[in-house]
């Protein structure tokens, strides 16, 4: 479980963020705080893995709280900034201090879950990584990229992506040809969607060598759900 601390001076926002967090598998709320000082104390006491940090706090702002947190020796914690602020300077300062994601209020549960799911997937990749070569590093950063509908490439449609995702979630170690058959799309289209899912870190693959010695890619689901609308099979 990913131990999560919620920091916000609005008690209603704390309640909503707690409910959202508890609805995402693999996460648990271990504490809350309503000020920057209380957040620093809670991190020291609860030792969370992740802090959901609001920028506007009554004593010091969230960015300053994050700066003090990063300066604290022996504290290693990831941070997702959650705020109504749309100030580019605040965003820049938060990014410089190493936030994993940045959520702008108001947001839906689907968006919230996407951020937590991509964070969890990147965390798993780091834990499983044996060597930080370029391919592995690219996969980690690709995993942290948002996979929302608005950010899909022009040659990737949300309905078809939803069908391919469903196939991959239902079967493990599946070839591109098998994906194409199950999703009722051409092999070329299947390979295009598989390349996209590889790029964003949602799937991985192993090689299987046949009798002729030619390798075949077998794809497996890693657990990150792209934020696309689910559609019935056959919809393009």
CB of 2 within 8 A of CB of 28?
Answer: yes
pLDDT higher than 60, residue 144: no
Distance CA 177, CA 207 (A): 14
CB of 193 within 8 A of CB of 236?
Answer: no
Report helix, strand or coil for 53. Answer: strand
Confidence band, pLDDT 50/70/90 cuts, at residue 145: low
pLDDT tens figures, 31-86: 999 999 999 999 999 999 999 999 889 998 888 999 998 888 677 899 999 887 66
- The predicted pLDDT at position 152 comes to 67
Average pLDDT, the chain: 81
Give the side-chain half-sphere CA count within 13 A for 225.
15
- The predicted pLDDT at position 90 comes to 78
- The predicted pLDDT at position 230 comes to 39
- The predicted pLDDT at position 133 comes to 58
| Dihedral class, residue 142 (left if φ above 0, else alpha if ψ from -120 to 50, else beta) | alpha
Confidence band, pLDDT 50/70/90 cuts, at residue 232: very low
pLDDT tens figures, 177-207: 999 999 999 999 999 999 888 877 778 888 8
Domains delineated in the chain: 2-107 (3.40.50.2300), 132-221 (1.10.10.10)
Q: How far is CA 90 from CA 24, 81, 93, in A?
A: 28, 10, 5
Distance CA 50, CA 93 (A): 19
pLDDT tens figures, 199-231: 777 788 888 886 666 788 999 887 654 444 333
DSSP class per residue in 66-131: HHHHHHSTT---EEEEEES---HHHHHHHHHTT-SEEEESS--HHHHHHHHHHHHHHHHHHHH-S-
Which of these, 80, 59, 57, lies nearest to 10 by C-alpha position? 57
Structure tokens at 213: 């010695």
- The predicted pLDDT at position 18 comes to 95
The angle at the Cα of 43, spanning 41 to 45, to the nearest 5 degrees, equals 70
Instruction: Indicate the length of the chain as a whole number.
Output: 236
CB of 93 within 8 A of CB of 85?
Answer: no
Does pTM surpass 0.85?
no
pLDDT higher than 60, residue 137: no
pLDDT higher than 60, residue 149: no
């Amino acid at each position: 479980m990913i131990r999560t601390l919620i920091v916000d001076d609005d008690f209603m926002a704390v309640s909503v963020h707690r409910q959202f967090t508890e609805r995402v598998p693999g996460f648990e709320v271990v504490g809350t705080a309503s000020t920057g000082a209380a957040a620093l104390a809670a991190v020291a006491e609860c030792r969370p893995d992740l802090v959901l940090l609001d920028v506007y706090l009554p004593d010091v702002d969230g960015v300053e709280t994050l700066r003090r947190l990063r300066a604290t020796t022996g504290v290693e914690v990831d941070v997702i900034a959650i705020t109504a602020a749309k100030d580019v300077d605040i965003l820049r300062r938060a990014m410089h201090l190493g936030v994993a994601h940045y959520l702008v209020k108001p947001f839906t549960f689907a968006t919230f879950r996407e951020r937590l799911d991509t964070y969890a997937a990147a965390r798993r990749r780091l834990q499983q990584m044996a060597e930080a070569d370029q391919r592995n590093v690219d996969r980690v950063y690709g995993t942290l990229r948002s996979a929302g509908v608005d950010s899909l490439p022009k040659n990737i449609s949300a309905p078809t992506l939803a069908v391919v995702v469903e196939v991959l979630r239902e079967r493990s170690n599946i070839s591109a040809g098998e994906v194409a058959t199950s999703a009722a799309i051409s092999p070329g289209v299947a390979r295009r969607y598989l390349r996209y899912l590889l790029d964003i870190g949602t799937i991985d693959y192993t090689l299987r060598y046949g009798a002729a010695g030619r390798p075949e890619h077998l794809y497996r689901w890693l657990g990150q759900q792209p934020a696309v609308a689910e559609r019935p099979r056959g919809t393009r």
